């Protein structure tokens, strides 16, 4: 391995290009704004799609299947001869990528190196190895850890420390509140500081440079999530890491920005010409943990009204398919071991609401009258978003679902507290997502093949 250094360029979110000795590899290639339906680049950028089509990468590595890391709409811009290395335990994703026309598609194995020209890329174990991975990248005498979205457990940290010294760590710097915003009236504000284990882990790794990575996005301009989703600002990250690790350089890489890393320095390099900055780039997050969530009816007004056929699709799911499926998806909490009355409220674009009540028990879900009670769980959702989930594979973080945004009777509240039930045990969430894989990518593939 040469010691001439390497160039690292930011695409967006967890996307990077690494270049060394004339070879270029890319990670988690997202070339969309917005991506994942409602994730808008922050800072704002646009992509030169034709210029991207002209790019030739020696390989592309994808850390996991989540749609903000693996999007077929973005992969569609790449040359079909590009070798794709994907970490995923589900064969379906590999089949979808091959159906898109890629001829070299490989499954990554943890700790098994992949060699591409001067690069050695080693997938490392994330805390949830069934979902995602991180990458150790060695080239040009440099050793870089791309943590992507993952958390690091104690055992993996010990192994990574032994793999040092580290020249740079790309660290996912947000404690996203994607679960808390589903039940805002029951969630406490985030602590106004970085998690203690982050500082401990960065101290153990002792990198020369740290890049606050991942989460370069916001939701729609009107979304209340923009005040409640991202607790940590770039400035706070730099301040806390700088204070705890005074010898470490904290480097912000906005989309398109490139740096040249070598043994003696980190220097600016030519930006990616096909990632085009739009407006102010050194923007920052403004978390307001006390921000009040608007009513679901107000949120639903931002979405188009469903057609008659689309509304029929939603109601068929709610009245027929959901009750049939509920008994096959288990909850992780014993709260639902007892029979519960669940209300599902569907909000239309003009404020209208349809409320359905179900009796949930070990046999399944049964529609009941509105006066059957007491209520034991509640779910609100814009009807347009439920349709998007059914037809387009829309993910939970963009659906504006609202869970248990009410006060139940004293016995129910006590049972909820005792069971410490997680909001992802919500019946609608379980029926939509518990036994499905790749719905977003499958919907993308249908659209792309239908062209």
Residue 391: inside a domain, yes or no?
A: yes
Number of domains in the chain: 2
Residues 216 and 327 in one domain: no
Confidence of residue 1 (pLDDT cuts 50, 70, 90): very low
Instruction: Look at residue 2 and tell me whether its pLDDT is greater than 70.
Output: no
Q: What spatial distance separates the first Cα and last Cα of the chain, rounded to whole Å?
A: 44
Give residues with Cβ within 8 angstroms of 298, minimum separation 6: none
Q: State the CB neighbour count (10 A cutoff) for residue 158.
A: 10
- For residues 320 and 195, state if they share a domain: no
The residues, ordered by sequence, that sit 6+ positions from 45 with a Cβ below 8 Å of its Cβ are 12, 33, 255, 256, 275, 276, 277, 278
Kindly report the CATH number assigned to the domain that includes residue 420. 3.30.1050
Q: Do both 412 and 355 map to the same domain?
A: yes
- The pLDDT, as a whole number, for residue 373 is 78
pLDDT at 189: 86
Q: What are the tens digits of pLDDT across the range 12-59?
A: 999 999 999 999 999 999 999 999 999 999 999 999 999 999 999 999
For residues 317 and 256, membership in a common domain is answered with: no
Q: Would you say 156 and 197 are in contact if contact means Cβ atoms under 8 Å apart?
A: no
Burial of 29 (0-12, 13-18, 19+ CB in 10 A): buried
Specify whether 379 is located in the same domain as 427: yes
- Is residue 283 domain-resident? no
Kindly report the CATH number assigned to the domain that includes residue 47: 3.60.15.10
Strand residue runs (E) in 156-265 = 168-172, 209-213, 217-218, 249-250, 258-261
Residue among 147, 107, 193, 198 nearest 14 (CA):
147
Question: Do residue 116 and residue 27 come from a single domain?
Answer: yes
Q: Looking at the domain assignment, is residue 313 inside a domain? A: yes
Q: What range does the domain containing 146 cover? A: 6-277
The per-residue pLDDT of the chain, averaged, comes to: 95
Q: Please indicate, yes or no, if residue 114 is contained in any of the structural domains.
A: yes
User: Are residues 416 and 377 part of one domain?
Assistant: yes
pLDDT tier for residue 191 given thresholds of 50, 70 and 90: confident
Give the distance, in angstroms, between the CA of residue 251 and the centroid of all CA atoms in the same chain.
22
244 Cα distance to chain centroid = 28
In a domain, 234, yes or no: yes
Complete DSSP assignment for 417-432: HHHT--GGG-HHHHHH
Closest CA to 169 of 268, 254, 251: 251
Mean pLDDT of 293-312: 97
Of 20, 173, 36, 110, nearest to 28 (Cα)? 36
Q: Examine the domain organization and report whether 179 and 239 are in the same domain.
A: yes
Q: pTM value?
A: 0.95
pLDDT score of 315: 98
Residue that wins the pLDDT comparison between 291 and 16: 16
Each residue of 114-140: pLDDT tens digit? Answer: 999 999 999 999 999 999 999 999 999
**pLDDT, tens digit (0-9, with 9 covering 90-100), for 144-183:** 999 999 889 999 999 999 999 999 999 999 999 999 999 9
Task: Give dist(CA 24, CA 31) in Å, integer.
Answer: 17
Nearest to 210 by CA among 171, 264, 154: 171
């Amino acid at each position: 391995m040469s010691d001439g250094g390497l160039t690292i360029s930011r695409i967006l979110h967890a996307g990077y290009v690494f270049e060394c000795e004339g070879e270029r590899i890319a990670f988690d290639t997202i070339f969309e704004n917005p991506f994942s339906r409602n994730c808008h680049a922050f800072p704002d950028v646009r992509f030169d799609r034709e210029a991207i089509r002209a790019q030739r990468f020696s390989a592309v590595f994808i850390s996991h299947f989540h749609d903000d890391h693996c999007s077929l709409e973005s992969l569609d811009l790449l040359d079909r001869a590009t070798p794709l290395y994907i970490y995923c335990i589900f064969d379906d994703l590999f089949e979808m990528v091959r159906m898109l026309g890629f001829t070299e598609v490989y499954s990554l194995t943890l700790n098994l190196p992949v060699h591409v020209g001067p690069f050695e890329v080693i997938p490392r174990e994330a805390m949830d190895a069934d979902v995602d991975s991180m990458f150790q990248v060695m080239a040009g005498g440099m050793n870089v850890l791309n943590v992507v979205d993952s958390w690091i457990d104690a055992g993996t940290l010990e192994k990574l420390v032994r793999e040092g010294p580290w020249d740079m760590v790309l660290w996912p710097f947000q404690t996203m509140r994607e679960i808390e915003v589903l039940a805002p009236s029951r969630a406490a504000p985030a602590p106004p500081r970085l998690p203690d284990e982050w500082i401990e882990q960065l101290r153990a790794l002792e990198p020369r440079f740290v890049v606050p990575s991942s989460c370069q996005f916001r939701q729609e301009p009107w979304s209340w999530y923009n005040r409640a989703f991202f607790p940590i600002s770039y400035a706070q990250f730099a301040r806390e890491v700088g204070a705890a690790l005074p010898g470490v350089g904290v480097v912000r890489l906005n989309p398109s920005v490139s740096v040249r890393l070598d043994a003696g320095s980190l220097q600016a390099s030519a930006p990616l010409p096909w990632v085009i900055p739009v407006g102010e780039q050194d923007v920052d997050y403004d978390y307001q943990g006390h921000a009040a969530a608007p009513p679901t009816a107000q949120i639903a007004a931002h979405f188009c009204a469903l057609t008659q056929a689309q509304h029929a699709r939603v109601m068929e799911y709610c009245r027929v398919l959901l009750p049939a499926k509920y008994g096959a998806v288990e909850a992780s909490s014993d709260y639902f071991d007892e029979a519960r009355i669940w209300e599902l409220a569907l909000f239309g674009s003009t404020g209208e609401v349809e409320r359905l009540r179900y009796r949930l028990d070990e046999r399944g879900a049964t529609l009941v009258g509105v006066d059957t009670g007491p209520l034991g769980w509640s779910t609100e959702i814009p009807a347009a978003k439920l349709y998007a989930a059914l037809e387009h594979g829309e993910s939970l973080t963009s659906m504006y679902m609202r869970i248990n945004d009410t006060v139940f009777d004293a016995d129910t509240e006590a049972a909820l507290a005792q069971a410490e039930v997680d909001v992802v045990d919500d019946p609608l969430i379980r029926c939509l997502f518990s036994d499905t894989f790749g719905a977003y990518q499958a919907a993308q593939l249908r659209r792309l093949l239908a062209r």
